[in-house]
Amino acid sequence: MNIELQKDFEQVCVWPGTVVGKEKIEDFERFIDDIFKTRIQYLEEISTFPDTDSSGKVVPETGGRNDVFFAIHNEDVGKFAVPRLQYGIRWIEDVLAEGNYTSKIYPTRVFDYCCWNKEHLAE
DSSP 32-46: HHHHH---EEEEEEE
CB-side exposure of 41: number of CA atoms within 13 Å? Answer: 17
pTM confidence score: 0.91
Inside any domain, residue 43: yes
Inside any domain, residue 68: yes
Average pLDDT in the 52-66 region? 92
pLDDT of the residue at 116:
60
pLDDT of the residue at 33:
98
Inside any domain, residue 2: no
Inside any domain, residue 1: no
Inside any domain, residue 3: no
Inside any domain, residue 67: yes
- With vertex at residue 35, the alpha carbon angle to CA 32 and CA 36, rounded to the nearest 5 degrees, is 75
* The total number of structural domains that make up the chain: 1
Highest mean pLDDT among 6-15, 98-107, 112-121: 6-15
H or E element: which one contains 47? strand 40-47
Domain that holds residue 40: 9-113
| Cα dihedral sign, 47-108-7-116 | positive
Beta strands 40-47; 66-73: pairing state:
antiparallel
Inside any domain, residue 121: no
Average pLDDT in the 78-105 region? 94
Inside any domain, residue 122: no
